[in-house]
A = this chain, B = another copy of it.
Amino acid sequence: MGDHTKTLLFKKITGLTDISASSVRKLFKITSPRQLFKGEIILKQGQGCKTIVFVEKGYLRTFMEREGIDINTDFTFENNFTTNLKSLRSNLPSETNIQAGESSTIYEFEKDELLNLYKASPEIESFGRKLLEQLLIAQEEHSTLFKIYSPAERYDYLLNNKPEFLQRVSLSQLASYLGVTRETLTRIRRKK
C-alpha cells in the first residue's frame, strides 16, 4: 500500500471538492492502482460498463466500431476520469470500447461500491456530483467543437488547447476524433 496522498487521484479529488480525510480514505478503500499494457482493452462493445475510471498515467482511447472501422470518440489523458455513463447507469450494453493507448496506470471505481458510499456519505455524493459536472462540461465543449468549427478549425483548436493530443495520438486515430478521414487530416496539415 503506497501513500495515496502522493497520487494524482488524491490531488484531483481534494481539488474538486471540500472533503474530509476520512471520506478520501473511504474512496481509496474501494480502489487500487491497476497497470495496463498498451492496447489492453478494459471495456468491450456489448458488455456492461461497471466502473468509473481515473487515469493516473498514460491515456485511454474510447472508440466505436462501425462497418469494420474504428471511430474514436474520446481520449482520456492522465488526471481525468472517464466512463460510459449510459451503460453504467442503465446496465445496458456499452456501445463503446475503452483501450489503453499507452502503457497506463488507472484506478477503477465499481458503480455499486460508489453508490454505497454516496448513500453513507453526503460529502462523497457531493464529490460525485462535481465529478459529473466536470465530465459534462468537457462533453459540452467537445460537442461545440463539432457544431461551430470546420475540420481545419477543429484541428487548430486542438493544436492550441490540447497539444498533448497531437504529440501522443497518431494521425490515423486523431482523424476520426476530428470527424474526417486520414487523408483530409493530412491535407489540413500540409497547408501549414
| Residues of chain B contacted by A35 (CB below 8 angstroms) | none
Check if B85 sits within 8 Å of A144, measured CB to CB.
no
Q: How far is the CA of A147 from the CA of B143 in the complex (A)?
A: 10
* Residue A122 CB within 8 A of the other chain: yes
- Tell me which of B84, B89, B137, B148 contacts A85 (CB under 8 A): B137
Q: How many residues of A contact B (CB 8 A)?
A: 31
Oligomer: number of copies: 2
Check if B136 sits within 8 Å of A66, measured CB to CB.
no
Q: How far is the CA of A71 from the CA of B140 in the complex (A)?
A: 15
* Residue A78 CB within 8 A of the other chain: no
- A175 to nearest B CB, angstroms? 12
- A17 to nearest B CB, angstroms? 11
Check if B147 sits within 8 Å of A73, measured CB to CB.
yes
Check if B179 sits within 8 Å of A136, measured CB to CB.
no
Check if B95 sits within 8 Å of A147, measured CB to CB.
no
Check if A140 sits within 8 Å of B139, measured CB to CB.
yes
| Residues of chain B contacted by A37 (CB below 8 angstroms) | none
- Give 8 nearest A-B pairs by CB, closest first: A122-B122, A129-B129, A132-B132, A136-B136, A146-B146, A139-B139, A143-B143, A86-B137
